[in-house]
Structure 1
Amino acid sequence: MTQKIALHTRLKPGKEAEYDRVHARISDELDAALRRSGVTSWNIWRSGRDLFHVVEVANYQAMRKELATDPVNIEWQAVMAELLEVEDDYSGDDMGLAKVWELP
């Protein structure tokens, strides 16, 4: 069974264009690391500085813990730390945004 997790992050002021540029194409190595950790889909929408993510993954917490020690992800997170307001520790303890409603 696949989990669908929603996330929210926020860009530092003035980092919108750079964020879009670095996400225009992620590296094959990062793509492979995400897929190895169980991610089947990751979509990001941006409204100004607010980023909304929907991640489809086999096990969200396991994915986060695996990526926490992956050298490719560690390098990617260093780039993201320059762009995002809050650094991500990849502890795997969070469950993303709480679902409030779904059209049945």
Structure 2
Amino acid sequence: MPESIALHTKLKPGTEEEYADAHANIPPELVAALKDAGVRNWRIWRSGLDLFHVVDVDDYQAMRHALADHPANVPWQARMAELLEVQDDYSGEDTGIHKVWELA
């Protein structure tokens, strides 16, 4: 059964446009790698410098492990490291933001 994982990241000041441009042109090989790793959907919202992600994925930890050293993901993560305050380590050990409530 797929799971939905919420994440929070933060942009470095002044990188908002660059971040939007990067996400308007995600490399097809990265999209394929995400799908192959079980990602069904990934949505990102921005409020100021704060980014909120919701990832629908078959197995979040397995996806993170699969992408950690993937040749399509490594350059993308290097690019994101230039734009984000704190970069993920892709350990696969995190569980995202704790869900408090959901309207079923």
User: Which letter maps to 2:52?
Assistant: F
User: Which letter maps to 1:96?
Assistant: G
SS in 2 for 1:64: helix
Once the two structures are TM-superposed, the CA of residue 25 in structure 1 deviates from its matched residue by 2.5
**Distance in 1 of aligned mates of 2:45 and 2:37:** 22
Once the two structures are TM-superposed, the CA of residue 63 in structure 1 deviates from its matched residue by 0.2
**Distance in 1 of aligned mates of 2:17 and 2:62:** 31
**Distance in 2 of aligned mates of 1:51 and 1:88:** 13
- Residues 1:7 and 2:7 aligned together: yes
Q: Once superposed, which parts of structure 1, at least 4 consecutive aligned residues long, lie more than 6 Å away?
A: none
**Distance in 1 of aligned mates of 2:3 and 2:102:** 15
Gaps of 5+ in 2: none
Residue of structure 1 equivalent to 2:76: 76
TM-score, normalised to structure 1's length? 0.98
Once the two structures are TM-superposed, the CA of residue 88 in structure 1 deviates from its matched residue by 1.2
TM-score, normalised to structure 2's length? 0.98
Aligned residues: 104
Once superposed, what is the RMSD of the aligned Cα atoms? 0.6
Gaps of 5+ in 1: none
